[in-house]
Amino acid sequence: MTAVRLGTRGSRLALTQSEWIAGLLRERHPGLEVELVRIRTSGDSIRDVPLGPELGQAFFTKEIEDALLDGRIDLAVHSCKDLATAMPEGLRIGAIPKREDPRDVLVSGYASLGALPKGATVGTSSPRRKGFLRAARPDLDVRDQRGNVPTRLQAVDDGVVDAVVLAAAGLARLGFAARATEMIDPHVMLPAAAQGALAVQVRRQDERMEALTATLDDPATRRTVEAERACLSRLEAGCQAPVGVLATLGADGMLDVQAALVTPEGVLRAERSEGPDLSSDEVGRALAESLLQQAGLPSLRDAAWAGPAPRTPDSGT
């Protein structure tokens, strides 16, 4: 049997995530060989400046998606929050496995966000995290900070910054969960859409890969993630938009979704609860409509403060 070529970024976190997916595939398809193919993305190459609109889009996925489209790899693993809501023509999400904790965490020598002294420095390059931090604590000094998880943790240890904000899922997958000082309440900082979830991407009409990856799909995770991505899609929000969305699925089948948009005038919020009669897409889009109505905008596409517009499905940019 020909080995399945799984495309991944080469960072420690990306490799850990991809090895986990490869292990699941081997477990559920005995005898299957899975080979990891490391692909360097533009986001990995640009390390010394914030990833602004002038540098392009799809920083952590484009090169991997190109390799999938031209057949150099058979499937790809992404952090789902990095994946554009409009994928290149010919690709789809074959599986969304069970999700890790979607929340953000504070890592600091101080006990919590509230305990940080006035003027404390907090490192993050995420416009979403910056927006929520400034709304909750306008007295903090929020600074751009990129780099992998160990690098960001070291910045705290070395006193370069007083705190950093990271995804709980990334810390857990790398074995650093104990470093979290505070799990930040979503009412203070809503996670990015699909944060904590992985997406296994395949080519459309590749029946073998679709069959292999379908065994990894978690229906509850897919329903929540699809609602969050639908909200982002209707907002026409790019990957750097200051938007938080979080959906949870109750035992009764109720889908509870909350979303927030950080605007120059403040934070706009919306919530919605629906049963299984409405699709994830319908729930997410309705929530987005509520935010846009509050903002007085048809979409975020032309709002300069919301960052670059999302790519079109077939542009690959």
Q: CA-CA distance, 96 to 102, in Å (whole number)?
A: 14
Among 135, 191, 142, smallest CA distance to 167 is for 191
Rounded Cα distance between 4 and 25, Å, is: 10
For 155-166, b/e burial (b = at least 16 CB within 10 A) is bbeeeebbbbbb
Of the candidates 130, 293, 292, the residue with the CA atom closest to the CA atom of residue 301: 292
Q: Which of 82, 104, 162, 206 is catalytic?
A: 82
The enclosing H or E element of 79 equals: strand 75-79
* Residues in CB range of 72: below 8 A, 6 or more apart: 5, 7, 37
Tokens of 226: 């699809």
Six token digits for residue 234: 């209707």
Let me know: does 310 contact 84? Beta carbons within 8 Å: yes
d(C-alpha 274, C-alpha 130), whole Å: 30
Gap between the Cα atoms of 154 and 149, Å rounded:
9
Report whether 261 contacts 268 (CB < 8 A). Answer: yes
Structure-block tokens of residue 109: 């020598």
Active-site annotation holds for 48:
no
Residues acting as catalytic residues: 82
